[in-house]
């Protein structure tokens, strides 16, 4: 790694730390956008420079957040943004030579489906870490969730037009339902953040010409067979009572989103390829048909032409008869 690449990796880590710190202040919409785009610079460093640059940027960002805030915030960043960025960019650039002379098949790249599975695993780990940090047992999590709901009701709801105050019973009910959805929501947000930033960084590096691997065909996206058994095991464990059920719920939610993403990509990109093929095959035929129909005379015009031909033929016949009669006389 050259000196310029090292400086770029350090700058990417500082940018990620600053964006992460900025995501805790400001309007809700701005915080939401910054939360999703926090690790983008890490992915750009990983795909544009290399996996080592992503690891250096992650380390710099984690240390910067540790110095600026507290150890817990640094740990949350490392698990939710840093580690997924370093790992997924390394997997995306992982390939092996096949011995084929053709440039498209000379290197076998790491399958995209396994990268999606890795993002799902990181999402489940982040959800588990968040649950441990928030309490570690159901009672502590319930109290923490109720505190969050009360804070939202007192600070955010008055700013919503037409909102009505909630009773204590309603706050308790919302807290219980939110606790059941919390692991799945946290895992889903972490997974979507990872894949969104990986996709954005891939498009940017592809446009700049620095992406090493070719752009993948998402219509061929598929998960390994082990993902099915992992989803079934996580869904079965999610029915357990207490804290283990909540932990399994995070992994079950992330894996469910992974399978939904595979189905969506295969359907959307396959249909897009079919539509493009139909455009290039049916398009010229439709244009030719439209031009032919535009210049082809109508049925009325064709009948008029036939009548004119018959009339001209009759006139020629009558003219020929008169000429013969004049000759005979």
Question: What integer pLDDT is reported at residue 197 of this predicted model?
Answer: 93
Q: How confident is the model at residue 275 (pLDDT cuts 50, 70, 90)?
A: low
Q: How confident is the model at residue 287 (pLDDT cuts 50, 70, 90)?
A: low
Report the range of poorest mean pLDDT among 7-11, 100-104, 116-120, 124-128: 100-104
The b-or-e profile of 87-96 (16+ CB within 10 A means b, else e) is bbbbbbbeee
Per-residue model confidence as pLDDT tens digits over 61-89: 999 999 988 888 888 889 888 999 999 99
Q: Mean pLDDT across the stretch 242-262?
A: 90
**Domain ranges in the chain?**
3-283
The b-or-e profile of 14-27 (16+ CB within 10 A means b, else e) is ebbbbbbbebeeee
List all residues 6 or more positions away from 154 whose beta carbon is below 8 Å from its beta carbon: none
Per-residue model confidence as pLDDT tens digits over 151-210: 777 776 766 776 777 777 877 888 888 888 888 988 998 999 999 999 999 999 999 988
Question: What integer pLDDT is reported at residue 35 of this predicted model?
Answer: 79
Per-residue model confidence as pLDDT tens digits over 295-320: 555 555 556 656 665 666 666 666 66
List all residues 6 or more positions away from 296 whose beta carbon is below 8 Å from its beta carbon: none
Overall pTM surpassing 0.85 (yes/no): no
Whether 26 has a pLDDT exceeding 70, the answer reads no
Question: Distance between CA atoms of 19 and 38, rounded to whole angstroms?
Answer: 5
The H or E element spanning position 107 is strand 107-109
CA atoms in the 13 A half-sphere facing the CB of 319? 6
Question: Distance between CA atoms of 61 and 22, rounded to whole angstroms?
Answer: 13
């Amino acid at each position: 790694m050259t000196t310029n690449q090292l400086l770029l990796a350090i700058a990417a880590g500082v940018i990620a730390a600053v964006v992460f710190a900025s995501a805790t202040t400001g309007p809700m919409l701005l915080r939401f956008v910054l939360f999703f785009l926090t690790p983008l610079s890490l992915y750009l460093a990983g795909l544009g420079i290399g996996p080592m640059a992503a690891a250096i940027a992650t380390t710099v960002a984690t240390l910067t957040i540790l110095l600026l805030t507290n150890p817990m915030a640094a740990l949350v960043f490392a698990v939710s943004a840093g580690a997924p960025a370093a790992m997924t960019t390394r997997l995306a650039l992982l390939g092996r030579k096949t011995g084929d002379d053709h440039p498209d098949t000379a290197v076998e790249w790491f399958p995209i489906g396994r990268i999606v599975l890795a993002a799902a695993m990181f999402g489940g780990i982040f959800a588990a870490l968040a649950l441990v940090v928030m309490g570690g047992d159901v009672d502590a999590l319930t109290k923490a969730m109720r505190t969050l709901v009360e804070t939202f009701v007192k600070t955010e709801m008055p700013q919503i037009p037409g909102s009505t105050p909630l009773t204590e019973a309603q706050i308790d009910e919302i807290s219980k339902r939110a606790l059941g959805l919390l692991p799945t929501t946290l895992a889903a947000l972490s997974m979507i953040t990872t894949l969104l930033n990986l996709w954005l960084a891939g498009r940017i590096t592809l446009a700049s010409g620095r992406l090493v691997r070719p752009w993948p065909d998402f219509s061929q996206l598929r998960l390994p067979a082990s993902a099915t058994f992992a989803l079934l095991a996580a869904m079965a464990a999610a029915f357990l009572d207490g804290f283990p059920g909540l932990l399994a719920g995070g992994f079950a939610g992330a894996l469910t989103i992974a399978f939904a993403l595979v189905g969506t990509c295969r359907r959307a990109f396959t249909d897009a390829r079919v539509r493009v093929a139909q455009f290039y095959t049916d398009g010229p035929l439709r244009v030719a048909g439209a031009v032919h129909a535009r210049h082809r005379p109508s049925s009325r015009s064709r009948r008029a032409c036939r009548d004119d031909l018959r009339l001209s033929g009759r006139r020629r016949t009558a003219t020929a008869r008169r000429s013969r009669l004049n000759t005979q006389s």
